[in-house]
Chains A and B, each alone.
Chain A
Amino acid sequence: MADKVLMKGNEALAEAAIKAGCRHYFGYPITPQTEVAAYMAKRMPKIGGTFLQAESEIAAINMVYGVAAAGKRVMTSSSSPGISLKGEGISYLAGSDLPALIVNVQRGGPGLGGIQPSQSDYFQATRGGGHGDYHMIVLAPASVQEMAELTVLGFELADTYRMPAMVLADGTMGQMMEPVSLDFAVSPAPEKPWATTGTKMAREHNIVNSLFLTPEELEQLNFTRYERYQAIEANETRYEEYMTEDADIILAAFGIAARVSRTAVNEARKQGIKVGLIRPITLWPFPYAPFAKAAEHAKAFISVELNMGQMIEDVRLAISCKAPVTLCNRAGGMIPSPGQVLEAIQKADGGVSK
């Protein structure tokens, strides 16, 4: 095979999962992520893996729970309405401290919404779509290459911290084609002494469960889990900064919105406007620190999103409201153009210069 291959985001993600050692995929078709399932259906039988089209999203996430409990790398994928259906199962995974990868190739909502790209599941992904106190590690790819690499990272982090991880993509990331190199390192799954693999009469039973009969025990588990979350916040926050050092205006954008924003930053710089971009790669844990640092010199922030303004709340929190934060957005499956973002920058620049 050539060094680089031309792949759809959904295909790159699926192949990367296979490279990461995932041999169990359970899903249900939904646009715009169906190529993940289609690719797995073609590849898994050839490599001794399992592809199973479940009868529903709810069934699929519970199959994921089963394989995760048995200690194997496992994934499911869907798009927005399907992820809502998986919410209960994701909460159970978190409550049982099980590692698994969930992929959301978002489409416009709410409800059945549409099939065009969107980022309107930011709240759901970062604040918990299921019930209870929990977090998922949430990774936001902005290229087909990252669709692959963050899938691998998702498996690794899920295993390291024994929790579900999500790749939060959007329809464009899933459908667009770019060259990809799949020649990257993958760390093998760690030992999982807690997995339900059979005692062979040599050890006590391992029990995987999210039901606790005494509130004291459940409270303690929540405390311990949140200590782990603090370690993740300290060690696993990822982001990319672009031309932020001298910037008066800072754009915040992830995924496809970050690509549009980068083009707009380049255009604005040509016009002499000092603007930069912070692109969160982990949406949870959110990169609060670089925003706080930028707020020491930047006079205005613009959150560019394919939704009605969700990440903007984290940007405001991150900068402790030291500067105004405005929203530049499209919704319902529409994508902001570089021109629209440039206009928002010019408008903010007018305010900054006064």
Chain B
Amino acid sequence: MHPYKRLTLLCGHYGSGKTNVALNMAFELKRQYAQVAIADLDIVNPYFRTKDSSAALEREGIRLIVSPYAGSNVDIPAMPQEMYAICDDRRLHAVVDVGGDDRGALALGRLVPAISEENDYEMLMVINRYRPLTPDAASTLEVMREIETACGLRFTGLVNNSNLGAQTTPRDISDSMEYAQAVAKQSGLPLMFTSVRADFYEALKDKIPDLFPMQLQQSLPGI
């Protein structure tokens, strides 16, 4: 992933872990670039949003572009008014957390003409073998095609974020590699990295190439 493209668009099946990957990529970008933003374009999820990490983002000096209604009771699929900044302000390196599935990716479509024209982006498909509707390469590719059709942009790479939530073991990650490689082979896309909880990094770093350690967002501490 080095050097990073100016825009990293994260799409994928609903619940595959895009928000955690997006947040950690933003933290990683901030270590390399002065001006970093994360844009939450999720119009699908009512809870567990990028905004839950707003304090940590502010601490790191990362600009959060999010609908003012995220996390509130205003139950409308609103887009953040500042979202055009990620295309207009080319000094920014930005991670875009797109909503799940084709329905979520539809919101990205509005920005696609500007993104294509500038042509300095990666569009990554976040995959999770342990989600019941994407257990194999064929079903994952089906979701990929639906997302590409909805937003009008083609994927450029894959992120293996296979996990079972709090009960994930390093073994679950190792077991997902065959799946991730099958998706890569059948889609013809490179597997950019495999993202894991930071405390699994040591156990897996010699077994899995391009391992990306993540701090997970704690939305419900103590529960």
Residues of A within 8 A of B (CB): 1-2, 4-8, 11, 15, 31-32, 42, 108, 113-116, 171-172, 175-179, 182, 256, 259-260, 263, 333, 335, 337-339
Contact = CB atoms under 8 A, between A and B. Distances in A.
Given A1-B132, A42-B133, A337-B222, A6 B47 contact: no
Contacts of A260: 222-223
A116 B71 CA distance: 8
B167 A338 contact: no
B165 A178 contact: yes
A5 B134 CA distance: 10
B154 to A, nearest CB: 24
B132 A11 contact: yes
B164 to A, nearest CB: 4
A8 B164 CA distance: 11
B73 to A, nearest CB: 3
A337 to B, nearest CB: 7
Q: Which one of A5, A8, A32, A42 has the greatest number of beta carbons of chain B within 10 Å?
A: A5
Contacts of B45: 175
Given A5-B164, A263-B222, A338-B221, 6 more contacts: A5-B132, A6-B128, A31-B75, A172-B47, A177-B15, A182-B132
Contacts of B163: 6
B129 interface: yes
A6 B223 contact: no
Contacts of A172: 47, 220, 223
B222 A15 contact: no
B63 interface: no
Contacts of B48: 175-176
Interface string B44-76: 011110000000000000000000000001010
A40 to B, nearest CB: 13
Interface residues of B, number: 24
Q: Which one of A2, A116, A259 has the greatest number of beta carbons of chain B within 10 Å?
A: A2
Nearest to B167: A179
Interface of B, helix, strand, loop or mixed by DSSP: loop
A260 B223 CA distance: 5
Q: Which one of B47, B167, B220 has the greatest number of beta carbons of chain A within 10 Å?
A: B47
A6 B45 CA distance: 16
B113 interface: no
Contact of A259 (B46, B128, B223): B223
Contacts of A108: 73
A15 B131 CA distance: 12
Contacts of A179: 130, 164-165, 167
Contacts of A178: 165-167
A11 B14 CA distance: 11
Given A115-B75, A171-B47, A333-B73, A176 B130 contact: no
B135 interface: yes
Contact of B132 (A7, A116, A175): A7
B46 A4 contact: no
Nearest to A4: B164
29 contacts: A2-B175, A5-B131, A6-B130, A7-B15, A7-B131, A7-B132, A11-B132, A15-B132, A32-B46, A32-B47, A115-B73, A172-B47, A172-B220, A172-B223, A175-B45, A175-B47, A176-B48, A176-B220, A178-B166, A179-B130, A179-B164, A179-B165, A260-B222, A263-B222, A333-B73, A337-B222, A338-B221, A338-B223, A339-B222
A337 B220 CA distance: 9
A4 B165 CA distance: 11
A177 to B, nearest CB: 5
A5 B165 contact: no
Nearest to B222: A338
A179 B221 CA distance: 18
Contacts of B164: 4-6, 179
A173 to B, nearest CB: 11
Given A176-B220, A179-B165, A5 B130 contact: yes
A42 B146 CA distance: 13
Contacts of B165: 6, 177-179
Contact of A31 (B46, B131, B175, B222): B46
B112 to A, nearest CB: 24
Contacts of A113: 73
The 3 tightest CB contacts between A and B, nearest first, are A114-B73, A338-B222, A179-B164
Interface string B205-223: 0000000000000001111
A175 B46 contact: yes
Given A175-B48, A179-B130, A179-B164, A256 B223 contact: yes
Nearest to A107: B73
A8 B48 CA distance: 12
Contacts of B129: 2
Contacts of A176: 48, 220
B220 A1 contact: no
A172 B46 CA distance: 11
A114 B46 CA distance: 11
